[in-house]
Amino acid sequence: MKFRSLASLLSIAIASAVPFVAHGKEAKPDRKPPTLAIDPSPVTAGKSALVTSYADILEPAQKAVVSVYSMKIVRERMALNPFLRQFFGNEIPDQERERKEEGLGSGVIVSPDGYILTNNHVVEGADELKVLLADDREFIAKVIGADPKTDIAVIKIEGERLPVVTLADSDNIRVGDVVFAVGNPLAVGQTVTMGIVSAKGRSVGILDEVAGYESFIQTDAAINMGNSGGALVDAKGRLVGINSAILSPSRGNIGIGFAVPVNLAATVMHSLIETGTVSRGYLGVQSQTLAADEAEAFGLPRDTKGVTITDVTPDSAADKGGLKVGDVVLSVNDKPVAALRDLRIYIAQTAPGSKVKLKISRDGKPQVLDIVLGKLDEKPNELLTGVEVSALTPEARRRLRIPPRFDGLLVTSVDPESPYADRLAPDVLILQVDREDVSDIEAARRALTPGRHILIVYYRGSARVIGLTVE
């Protein structure tokens, strides 16, 4: 269970007992996408009659919602009693012990071949996952992949006659639509709670630590610990969201719950299944939400909603597509852009190489630009696998006492699992690659092609030569 202070009396609680992690090494690039049942019509389509029960509508969805039990082995170091240490010194090493950490969440079967949508934080770090179906069948599940930036994970079970849920088009939901949260809260067993869509496109800072993409469906349907990864379904029994978090000062439901829209969840799922990773589109701009007084300055009505472009990265997709500083983006593929988060999530949700239609206003005149998206680099500071660098700042130069004559890229972190962990370390200053000075990361990346390279580095008061083989 995670909480974060949002105000003096409020905290954001992840509605499960397990923390965040990304998985994806088990995914295979040759997997075929799952067959999904999709009904894109609005929930209000057709005539409405007096409803006295939703039992028949909810029953199929209930069968497709599962409980996800996680088990993680935690190793803890036990320090020797200080009283004994003074007699034995370091002759007796600290001892380690193992304990099991268990968690509970929910999931939703979305395809007959056993793919299950759940939350990233439900499966994070798990050494074993068990899935319990509504009919009491139990399966061992494996993680196909997970995406911390959307809190979505995909797991898979092997079984026959698996129930599945039908997916709705979450773009069509409206505030006021009746919805139901289905999951296993507080380990009491499968539970259905009812409410309405309270808001759309909510961004509340839950995923800020991972620079995530938030566009939550807010609902007052009761969501508690254990509901994470469960289904938010509409009045037709279709999946509209994956329950993810609650806002609460008491760690319990107070009627403010959040679900990841199923359109976003499905996009992430397809990418994880087919490639093992999540590839996001890249536009290459800096922007800000259009304010009312700015709209008038741009020759637009005061109530215009949009995003103002404040900078365009040279040679980026935006630059090649003709987007300019001062342009106001009004929509992406006919989806209105009301705020910066809308533009960010629409672009990230679109595959690299895709063409998007941007409706813009330039000098008060409408235009349409067709732009082919690039690929977002999720690790902009990664020079080599597991090795992150940055430009040498004056502060770092003073801290490390680096003479003025030396300049280059400073290693800021090295993953212990990196294949280069035995050659590079934090605070190593890379001066040259193959006798060429390096001062920016793009040039260094281009120089470090697969093969053998010679690096000149400065570390702890002296310059030295390092041989490095790039895999």
> Greater confidence, 15 or 322?
322
Query: What is the secondary structure of 222-279 as a DSSP string?
Result: ---TT-TT-EEEETTS-EEEEEEEEE-SSSS-SS-EEEEEHHHHHHHHHHHHHHSS--
- Determine the average pLDDT of the residues in 279-291: 92
Asked if 115 and 127 touch (Cβ cutoff 8 Å), the reply is no
241 assigned ligand-binding residue? no
Quote the strand ranges of 47-91, DSSP E: 65-78
23 assigned ligand-binding residue? no
151 assigned ligand-binding residue? yes
Which residue among 239, 257, 275 closes a domain?
275
State which residues form the domain around 235. 3-43+55-275
The whole-angstrom separation of Cα 104 and Cα 106 is: 7
- Residue 71's identity, in one-letter code, is M
Q: Assess whether 168 and 265 both reside in one domain.
A: yes
The answer as to whether 126 is a domain residue is yes
Helix (H, G, I), strand (E, B) or coil at 445: helix
Which residue among 375, 392, 409 closes a domain?
375
Q: Assess whether 132 and 251 both reside in one domain.
A: yes
The whole-number pLDDT of residue 177 equals: 97
The answer as to whether 49 is a domain residue is no
The answer as to whether 127 is a domain residue is yes
Q: Any catalytic annotation for residue 121?
A: yes
The whole-angstrom separation of Cα 442 and Cα 438 is: 9
pLDDT per residue over 151-166, tens digit each? 999 999 999 999 999 9
Alpha helix (H) residue ranges in 89-240? 120-123
Catalytic residue among 23, 67, 106, 121: 121
Q: Which of 93-97, 109-113, 247-251 has the lowest mean pLDDT?
A: 93-97
Strand 216-219 to 191-202 pairing: antiparallel
Q: What is the count of structural domains for the chain?
A: 3
Confidence of residue 20 (pLDDT cuts 50, 70, 90): very low
The answer as to whether 298 is a domain residue is yes
121 assigned ligand-binding residue? yes
The whole-angstrom separation of Cα 160 and Cα 114 is: 9
Q: Is the pLDDT score of 467 beyond 50?
A: yes
Q: Which of 28-32, 66-70, 205-209, 443-447 has the lowest mean pLDDT?
A: 28-32
Q: Assess whether 36 and 142 both reside in one domain.
A: yes
Catalytic residue among 67, 106, 170, 228: 228
Q: Assess whether 368 and 404 both reside in one domain.
A: no
Q: Is the pLDDT score of 324 beyond 60?
A: yes
Q: Assess whether 182 and 330 both reside in one domain.
A: no
Which residue among 375, 394, 421 closes a domain?
375
Q: Assess whether 289 and 262 both reside in one domain.
A: no
> Greater confidence, 363 or 16?
363
The whole-number pLDDT of residue 77 equals: 61
The whole-number pLDDT of residue 91 equals: 55
Confidence of residue 101 (pLDDT cuts 50, 70, 90): confident
To which residue do tokens 């280059």 refer? 408
Q: Assess whether 268 and 338 both reside in one domain.
A: no
Per the DSSP assignment, residues forming a β-bridge with 192 are 182
Helix (H, G, I), strand (E, B) or coil at 179: strand
The answer as to whether 125 is a domain residue is yes
The whole-number pLDDT of residue 29 equals: 60
The whole-number pLDDT of residue 78 equals: 58
Q: What is the CATH number of the domain that holds 210?
A: 2.40.10.120
The CA-based angle 314-317-318, given to 5 degrees, is 75
To which residue do tokens 């000098």 refer? 363
The whole-number pLDDT of residue 249 equals: 85
Q: What is the CATH number of the domain that holds 428?
A: 2.30.42.10
The whole-angstrom separation of Cα 323 and Cα 226 is: 45
The whole-number pLDDT of residue 48 equals: 65
Q: Assess whether 402 and 351 both reside in one domain.
A: no
The whole-number pLDDT of residue 86 equals: 52
Q: Any catalytic annotation for residue 23?
A: no
Q: Which of 127-141, 222-236, 244-258 has the lowest mean pLDDT?
A: 244-258
Entry field: residues in the chain? 471
Q: Assess whether 168 and 142 both reside in one domain.
A: yes
Q: Assess whether 37 and 99 both reside in one domain.
A: yes
The answer as to whether 48 is a domain residue is no
Q: Assess whether 112 and 193 both reside in one domain.
A: yes
The whole-number pLDDT of residue 8 equals: 35
First CA to last CA distance, the chain: 39
The answer as to whether 50 is a domain residue is no
453 assigned ligand-binding residue? no
- Determine the average pLDDT of the residues in 363-374: 95
How many Cα atoms are found within 13 Å in the side-chain-facing hemisphere of 42?
Answer: 11
Q: Assess whether 166 and 304 both reside in one domain.
A: no
To which residue do tokens 């759940």 refer? 118
Catalytic residue among 23, 147, 151, 234: 151
Mean pLDDT for all residues in the chain: 87
Q: Any catalytic annotation for residue 151?
A: yes
- Residue 313's identity, in one-letter code, is T
